[in-house]
Amino acid sequence: MAYIRKHKYKTKVSFQVQIRRKGFRTIVRSFDTKTQAQKWARGIERKLDMGDYSDYTEASKLTLGDLLIRYKAENKHKRKKDWKNEEYKIGYILKDTIVIFEKWMRMYKKNINTQIKE
């Protein structure tokens, strides 16, 4: 059963849906209107009942840098003729400031989460 909670802010109201089922992770999402929240909750509960629901939370945490590191580690690129050039390009992308910043943010979040749990 979905639980819909009303959140009041200074200028607006939002509705948070929380769906808890045994054997599944808790699913939480916020909406601007109650009807949107109810429609979404019915759809997700229907998928859960039919066994059609897929959880993409782990996949959404995967970054381009992670994929490139995995691709390079598995040596998939060495099957190609121009594999040295591809390895250079992967290294160049991984040195980019966006990828470095992304890694730093993940490390920072892990440190904060471990400090909070302790």
At 13, is the secondary structure helix, strand, or coil? strand
Reading across the β-sheet that carries 2-8, which strands appear in turn? 2-8, 13-19, 27-31
- What are the tens digits of pLDDT across the range 56-106? 666 667 777 778 888 888 887 788 888 888 888 878 877 776 666 666 667
Domain ranges of the chain: 2-55, 62-117
Contact status, residue 18 vs residue 2, Cβ threshold 8 Å: yes
Q: Is the pLDDT of residue 23 over 90?
A: no
Q: What is the pLDDT of residue 91?
A: 81
30 pLDDT tier (thresholds 50, 70, 90) = very high
CB 4 within 8 A of CB 15: yes
pLDDT: which is higher, 117 or 89: 89
Helices 64-73 and 97-117 pack at an angle, to 10 degrees, of 100
The residue assigned the tokens 């959140």 is 7
